[in-house]
Amino acid sequence: MPNKVLIVIGDAAEALDTVYPIWRVMEEDWQAVVAAPEKRVYHLVMHEIPPGWDVTKESPSYHWASDLAFRDVNPEEYIGLFLSGGRAPEYLRYDADLLRITRHFFAAQKPVAVVCHGAEIVAAADVIRGKRMATVPKCQFDVEVCGATFVNEACVRDGNMVSGRTWKDNPFFIREWIRMLRDYEAAHTR
């Protein structure tokens, strides 16, 4: 059984949505493999709603290199998938290879974690019909129009998917995702 976990990024992926799960995967002695449209360095961003603002402010953040392009991913080699938020999912959801990858994880019932705008990817992949999921409230429409139920909570698990609203929910939904990965790995290494 492979000990690799796939982390999806693109330009404008939210930094805390991305880096925290990478480090949690590494702390568990699994290999965090970062995939993106191409193998190159990507520009992460920070998202916050400053006091008095009604909309998210975006600031430049860290840069992160992807290990491989979506087209080169064989999802059979991975035990789990993490879909980061930020603005990256706005364009990543149109990548046919990423949709193929995402559908594999749901068909195989492998652990998937989704945060914030990552909901746009699972919505586009048409894998959330009938499911409950959390996301940032401004993505509620995307979730509902694609057949899921929006839940405004820090951690929502439905089958093989766990979701959170924003990076502020990381300690809650990522803890559950790590449990799911451990359980999946234990069940498939006997």
List, by residue number, the catalytic residues. Answer: 117
Q: Are 154 and 170 in contact (CB under 8 A)?
A: no
* β partners of residue 32: 5
* β partners of residue 34: 7
Pairing of the two strands 57-65 and 41-48: antiparallel
Report how far residue 112's alpha carbon sits from residue 139's, in angstroms, rounded to the nearest whole number: 18
Q: Are 118 and 17 in contact (CB under 8 A)?
A: yes
Helices (H) and strands (E) in the chain, counts: 6, 11
Task: Tell me how far the alpha carbon of residue 19 is from its chain's centroid.
Answer: 11
Q: Which of 143, 167, 18 is nearest to 83 (CA)?
A: 18
